[in-house]
Amino acid sequence: DIQMTQSPSSLSASVGDRVTITCRASQGIRNDLGWYQHKPGKAPKRLIYAASSLQSGVPSRFSGSGSGTEFTLTISSLQPEDFATYYCLQHNSYPRTFGQGTTVEIK
Amino acid sequence: EVQLVESGGGLVQPGGSLRLSCAASGFTFSSYWMSWVRQAPGKGLEWVANINQDGSEKNYVDSVKGRFTISRDNAKNSLYLQMNSLRAEDTAVYYCTRGGGTFDIWGQGTMVTVSS
């Protein structure tokens, strides 16, 4: 199985901050990676697909980069509605595997 | 409006069975792979299973192989998850999602609690 190691597991940040979350795959996955935002009691929401493509309707402050084994989700200027848990997900092979999640909290 | 609505969750005893359903609307259901993803209380997201457009290919996470069966009825625009031999560790919110590995549409989820 491909292990997805996400860091940090949590972070505290202020509105307006730049936030970066990293995901590392245990083996190369090309660009077969997505980023998801999940708020309590809500359905998860895809932000990024194919490592760097922005999902339609998602604000441009979200961006993704990387290929192979190292991937990054960046929020350029954190907004109040961005406080949530973020997950990476690889779909290069089975089983599909998520990172353990990064909770972004208000500082 | 593109929508997925899960149903069928509830409380079941260890060793019991439950069948989850997912009703799709607003898109051509038969054109898409579909998946189930779950989240146990206080834990992260876990992919459970997927199925291709005509139901001829199915894949499962190891922890549910032999116990869960994913299926679909394209005439009814519906996805199913038959869960047998349920264990406490299957307790989770189960989400229906569109896609085989990248998931652009998600349902609101249905809670499954396995407890005596």
* Interface contact A55, partner B, CB < 8 A: yes
Q: By CA distance, what is A57's nearest residue in B? A: B104
Is residue A44 within 8 A of residue A34, CB to CB? The reply is: no
CB contact under 8 A, A42 and B50: no
- Residues comprising chain B, all counted: 116
Average pLDDT, chain B: 98
pLDDT of residue A106: 86
Q: By CA distance, what is A37's nearest residue in B? A: B45
Is residue A102 within 8 A of residue A9, CB to CB? The reply is: yes
Other C-beta atoms lying within 10 Å of the C-beta of residue B41: 9
Regions of chain A short of the pLDDT cut 50: none
Other C-beta atoms lying within 10 Å of the C-beta of residue B104: 15
Residue found by looking up tokens 């990476």 in the block: A88
Is residue A26 within 8 A of residue A5, CB to CB? The reply is: yes
State the DSSP H helix or E strand holding residue B21, giving kind and residue range, or none if neither: strand B18-25
CB contact under 8 A, A43 and B101: no
The arithmetic mean of pLDDT across residues B66-70, rounded, is 98
* Interface contact A81, partner B, CB < 8 A: no
B→A contacts (Cβ < 8 Å), by residue, are: 35, 37, 44-47, 50, 59-62, 95, 100-104, 106-109
In whole angstroms, what is the distance from residue A71 CA to residue A33 CA? 8
Q: By CA distance, what is B3's nearest residue in A? A: A43
What separation in angstroms does the CA of B112 have from each of B79, B86, B109? 17, 10, 10
Chain segment B9-27, per-residue pLDDT in tens = 999 999 999 999 999 999 9
In whole angstroms, what is the distance from residue B84 CA to residue A76 CA? 45
Q: Which residues pair with A46 in a beta bridge?
A: A36
pLDDT of residue B95: 98
The beta-carbon neighbor of B101 closest among A42, A45, A91 is: A91
